Structure 1
Amino acid sequence: MRSRIHLPLALSLASIPGALSHYFFPYFIDNGNVTDYYEYVREDTQGYMPWKGNYDSNDLRCNTDSFQYASRTDVYKVNAGDTIGFGTNFGAQIEHPGPMQVYLSKAPGDIHDYDGSGDWFKIWELGPTSFSSDGIEWGVTGRSNFTFPLPKETPPGHYLVRIEHIALHGAGDFGGAEFYFNCAQIEVESDSTAIPEPVVKIPGVYDGYEPGILFYMYRPYWHNYSMPGPLVWPQSIGNSIYAEGVTGTPTGTWSAPAVTPLLTSAGVVSSSVRVTSTPLTSTSLTAGKSRYSFGATTAPVVETRIPAGTMDGVDAQASATDCAAMTVTIRTTITTTTIRPETSTTEDSCAAVTTTTTVTTTVTATDFAAETRPM
């Protein structure tokens, strides 16, 4: 185990204006064990400075000149299903707004010889926690350690684990988003034969024009944010939901105006949806539709909340991709002032699926009736 002296670097950072607002991730974490500084994380020459633009560079994989440190970086053995993560330099708390994501890339052989030119897949993401007139609250804010589950479906082998934080405070102009990222070297022990998907290449995963990268965050009343990159693997019950008729682009989205789909189930907490339809561009629409597709046998509850002044009806369709017996509950809550919530409809694709539907109308001015009818 190597030992390093950190004090001179800390002092030098303190003397550089703006340095302490920047960060990197030199500490790898496994099941609560925080390893030594750059012991299992590839060092680089970028240091505390962010990466901006240049989305076609190979150094976007693990940071500037990191491959030259591969041979001197150790490999940490983990088990699929472990809780792993990264810690920032000197415990720096992240204050820059923006999403965090984690990718894996399997080496064809020894990780020390692997430059990250193979396939990458996303295993975790952390986006906004709330939207309000005061702005967006982000899950990374005020934190210095970030841990997440290594999927139990991960096949055995050597992997690069890439953590990435995208700071959006200057992302209103192309190339203004700041990327902070590092890669750890791990060996996964597992009996899984699963094939991760979807996969991407780095570079290639971003072009800088994604709505989650070219993003002017200071616009008031943001209601949604589209996570850059592919969907998380493996797709949990949370991100196997497909919501039609909400704003956004075809990627993971953390909220939406007009129709806000939420999923709750025993042992499952997720606000992630995938948008697959034409965005709603107005808040004075006369109708809206949401379609949810489930690929698991747990008993999910879909809750659609419609705020006042947005639409006068909701059409909720629940279909199961796994025809095992399960119960899907659809709850629609409508807040209204002068518009009438007309109907809520449900449709089952499998005979084994039981769907229950309720519509609740919260009246803030004039009371209008809401009815539920089966499709």
Structure 2
Amino acid sequence: MRFQVHLAVAFSLSSIPGTLGHYFFPYFIHNGNVTEYYEYVREDTQGYMPWKGNYNNDDFRCNTGSFQYASQTDVNKVKAGDQIGFGTDFGALIEHPGPMQVYLSKAPGDVHDYDGSGDWFKIWELGPTSFGNDGIQWGVTGRSDFTFTLPKETPAGQYLVRIEHIALHGAGEFGGAEFYFNCAQIEVESDSTETPGPVVKIPGVYTGYEPGILFYMYRDYWRNYTMPGPNVWPLSIGSSIYAEGVTGTPTGTWSAPAVTPMIGSATATSSSQVQSGYSTPLAASQRAQSPSSSVSAMPVVTSEAAAETTPALSSSTQIIDGSCGTVTITTTTTVSEDSLTTTASGCIPDRITTTTTVTVFPTGN
């Protein structure tokens, strides 16, 4: 019955033979052997993917209703250092852009009785393969199966293995990233006494605001990508994948400082800080969706680009000692692109000018 349901969904959604935009990972792979459909992978009642938002739901671990299938799912016996992996429904090729990651969680006893509420650690990730004017190229593209080495340092025991693909084609707004995931049940033979880490909880590993999840990918100047979640265990060089050259991106907001210049014996005081900046669609989305925002008293640069702010009083205003009046403060922010190359004309201003009028009070009043 389960097979028939997935078969109908797969054929109704696939417009190109051999490709599929919405998929599960029902096949577990061990040392090159593709096992039976949902033999070692927990089934679920989701029926259709993707999963979007709702990052605090317990079903975000192994998919909707999967725990009810735990007792019916076999446990694959593997050795630390073996090659393991997953395959998609019916060999469907993944075309959605985005990273793939694999987590392990050790059961305190029999994995059939384990709901995944313990600690999880990441053992493998597959991100971008290149950056360029044609956009980001991803390692998942055009593939239907994904294999990797179970770390030889993995301690003995029974585990859940969670594969996760995050599709980013709609991730320029909060909740737009698409998640595809399933869990397999394994028993590891090992003599290792290592302690895996860093560990996270699922749910809890993501908020949806991570730069690798809230990510507007349709820009030709991207030169790096930050993989969501913790670093890979064992020791990883980090979770950011870089291309040669720029390691930052021209997104964000610059905030001009509040200025308190002296004019003779009078003090000019701005009643509020002045915010100036530029935005791309991604930056605008991040600010609109962020649960909180603040204005910095100094210029904030969220890329490798440097900003230099120069306040100046308007020459048209004269303040005589002891008098009151107004003065115009013009703040100019100059952006240095630091060898950043982009073909998007006009998206990065050389200077940003903000003007505000403030009230000047005599000193001592």
TM-score, length of structure 2 as denominator length: 0.66
Deviation at 1:180, TM superposition (A): 0.1
Query: Corresponding residue for 1:160?
Result: 160
Alpha carbons of structure 1 residues 88 and 12: separation in structure 2 relative to 1, 3 Å: closer
| 1:225 counterpart SS class | strand
Do structure 1's residue 282 and structure 2's residue 305 form an aligned pair?
Answer: yes
What is the alpha-carbon distance in structure 1 between the residues aligned to residue 74 and residue 106 of structure 2? 16
Q: Confirm or deny: 8 A CA contact 1:224 1:257 kept in the other structure.
A: no
Could you say which residue in structure 2 is the equivalent of 1:51? 51
Deviations 1:96-133 (A, max 9, x none): 00000000000000000000000000000000000111
- State the shift of 1:5 in Å: 8.1
Report the 3-state secondary structure (helix = DSSP H, G, I; strand = E; otherwise coil) of the residue aligned with 1:254: strand
2:182 is matched by which residue type in structure 1? N
State the distance in 2 between where 1:78 and 1:167 align.
30
8 Å CA contact 1:284–1:310 kept in 2: the answer is no
Q: Which amino acid aligns with 1:310?
A: S
* Structure 1 residue ranges without an equivalent (≥5): 240-250, 261-277, 286-307, 312-375
**Residue number in structure 1 paired with 2:240:** 253
Letter in 2 for 1:25: F
What residue is the counterpart of 2:150 in the other structure? 150
Aligned residue pairs total 256
Partner residue of 2:182?
Answer: 182
1:310 and 2:339 are equivalent in the alignment: yes
**1:10 matches 2:39:** no
Shift of 1:281: 2.7
Q: Residues 126 and 16 of structure 1: is their aligned pair in 2 closer, same or farther, counting only changes over 3 Å?
A: closer
For 1:17 and 1:188, how far apart are their aligned partners in 2? 36
Name the CA shift for 1:131/1:12 in 2 (closer, same or farther; >3 Å). Answer: closer
One-letter identity of the residue aligned with 2:241:
W
Q: Which runs of 5+ in 2 are unaligned?
A: 248-300, 309-336, 341-365
Contact map agreement 1:258 1:283 (CA 8 A) in 2? no
Counterparts of 1:224-373 in structure 2, within 5 Å, are 224-236=224-236, 239=237, 252-256=239-243, 258=245, 280-282=303-305, 310=339
SS of the aligned residue for 2:224 comes to coil
- The answer as to whether partners of 1:283 and 1:310 remain within 8 angstroms in 2 is no
Runs of 4+ with >6 A deviation? none
Instruction: Work out the CA distance in 1 between the residues paired with 2:91 and 2:45.
Output: 20
- Greater C-alpha radius of gyration: 2
SS of the aligned residue for 2:90 comes to: helix
- SS of corresponding position for 2:225: coil
* Aligned CA distance change for structure 1 residues 175 and 193 (closer, same or farther; 3 Å): same
Matches within 5 A, 1:125-136: 125-136=125-136
Give the drift of 1:134.
Answer: 1.0
User: Per the alignment, do residues 5 and 208 of structure 1 end up closer, same or farther by CA in structure 2, a change over 3 Å counting?
Assistant: closer
The offset of 1:49, in angstroms, is 1.4
Query: C-alpha root-mean-square deviation of aligned residues, in Å?
Result: 2.4
Instruction: Give identity over the alignment, percent.
Output: 74
The alpha-carbon deviation at position 17 of structure 1 amounts to 7.2
Residue identity matched to 1:252? S
One-letter amino acid of the structure 2 residue matched with residue 190 of structure 1:
S
User: Partner of 1:40 in structure 2?
Assistant: 40
**CA–CA distance in 2 between the matches of 1:104 and 1:37?**
21
Query: What is the aligned partner in structure 1 of residue 92 from structure 2?
Result: 92
1:216 aligns with 2:203: no
Question: How high is the TM-score relative to the length of structure 1?
Answer: 0.64
